[in-house]
A and B are shown apart, each in its own frame.
Chain A
Amino acid sequence: MDLANYKKVWKNQPEEKNKISALEIYKMTQSKSNSLVKWIFIIGLLEFVFWFAINYLGTKNGALEPYEKLNLINFIDNFNYFHYVLVVLFLILFYRNFSLISTGDDTKTLMKNILLVRKTVKWYVYYNLIYAVVFSIILNILIFNTPDGINILSGIDNESFNKEHMMSVFIIAQIVVIAIMILILWLFYYLLYGILLKKLNKNYKELTKLNEIS
């Protein structure tokens, strides 16, 4: 049987027997959505809070005391103000891109806008990682250029202490910690967004593949 005949069968199919009443439809509109967009929004907001908290807590609870001794507080404060401005800009961008999502758009535009929101959060995370690395590098340079910087930071006040050896340990320790953190984060994001966006990415690829045909 060819498709034209199947089309006739399709057209003549009876209406759904279990019709949903207007009251049931109304009740459904009052229930909570479980859509991908909702989860992308919630996870995106949580990421903003998480990264902001990490940075904020890092500058509280006496963590900055040694830096006070090194007179680096002004530098850290300025760096943080700059950071907060960028966080606000990212939040505005996140909200703006999120409000672009409309189910009434065509399928391709809708998918593109959902992926754009995801990308905004991705850039935000990248920015935070780059910020942490750049901040550490500048801080290291400032500490090493301060006489007895390491001794003040580590709290060891011993002149006979091998300064070069201490510097190497300090740098290597930082690199290892950052590398482990990035690995854990990458794995976390890979799994989280991998599961969440698997279907969307596949369908988006399928649609954009169409454009390459003609």
Chain B
Amino acid sequence: MQNQLEKNFLNDFEKNQNIVHKICRIYTTNQDEHNDLFQEITIQVWKNYSKFRGEAKFSTWMYRVALNTAISLFRKSKRKIKTQDFSDVSFKIKSVDYDDTKDKQLKALYLGIRGLNDIEKALMFLYLEDKPYKEIAKTLGITEVNARVKMNRTKQKLKKILNP
């Protein structure tokens, strides 16, 4: 039987799962890894859910747990099933009313972000998600000044990758 906590968790997590999928797409390179990371994030969010006091929005708190899992906890499993590399992200996210040019740009953006290191990926992800510097700094545990300096460097790095 599910108790109220489980019901709330499932409801919150299901609604916000798109955040997790985006993080999985950034930090992994194939579908198996994507699924593994998604599962690990689910476990970690659930394990910590009772500590989530609702001081912040659930999604804000989930960004932190999900990124922490991707950066610090996730271990790629050793299984060697050859699966399709989704360097072509479009097969997952293409929809009927979607403009092909934008699809290509999105694909290029994902590929570019994958060329960054783990911390830079988190910075860029939070920037793209429109998070203020204060929140970015708080999520990573660094000062706002540091977050700005590093963000500028990351932006420059990504620009070079996107426009070689």
Contacts and interface: CB of A to CB of B under 8 A. Distances in A.
Contacts of B14: 20-22, 25
A37 B46 CA distance: 16
A207 B72 contact: no
Contact of A33 (B43, B72, B143, B155): B43
A102 B44 CA distance: 9
Contacts of B32: none
Contact of B75 (A5, A21, A35, A114): A35
A16 B17 contact: yes
Contacts of B72: 36, 107, 110-111, 114, 200, 203
B65 to A, nearest CB: 5
Nearest 3 Cβ contacts at the A-B interface? A108-B141, A106-B141, A35-B73
Contact of A107 (B2, B46, B61, B67): B67
B8 to A, nearest CB: 11
Contact of B64 (A2, A14, A104): A104
B74 interface: yes
A17 B21 CA distance: 10
A207 B102 contact: no
B149 A213 contact: yes
Interface size class of B (residues with CB under 8 A): 35 or more
Main secondary structure of the interface of B (DSSP, over half): helix
Nearest to B89: A13
Interface string A84-108: 0000000000000000001111111
Interface residues of A, number: 52
A213 to B, nearest CB: 5
A40 B68 CA distance: 16
Nearest to A107: B140
Given A10-B106, A33-B44, A107-B140, 19 more contacts: A1-B162, A20-B17, A26-B2, A29-B9, A34-B40, A35-B69, A37-B73, A39-B75, A103-B69, A106-B64, A106-B141, A107-B64, A107-B71, A107-B141, A110-B141, A114-B72, A207-B119, A207-B142, A214-B149
B10 A104 contact: no
Contacts of A6: 105, 109, 128, 162
Given A7-B128, A107-B71, A214-B149, A20 B38 contact: yes
B143 A3 contact: no
A108 B119 CA distance: 11
A31 interface: yes
Contact of B149 (A15, A18, A21, A210): A210
A1 B102 CA distance: 12
Nearest to B128: A10
Contacts of A140: none
A211 interface: yes
Contacts of A12: 102
Given A31-B43, A34-B36, A207-B142, A16 B73 contact: no
A20 B42 CA distance: 11
Contacts of B118: 199, 202-203, 206
Interface string B87-105: 0000011110010001001
A18 to B, nearest CB: 7
A107 B2 CA distance: 31
Given A22-B14, A26-B10, A109-B141, A104 B52 contact: yes
A108 B140 contact: yes
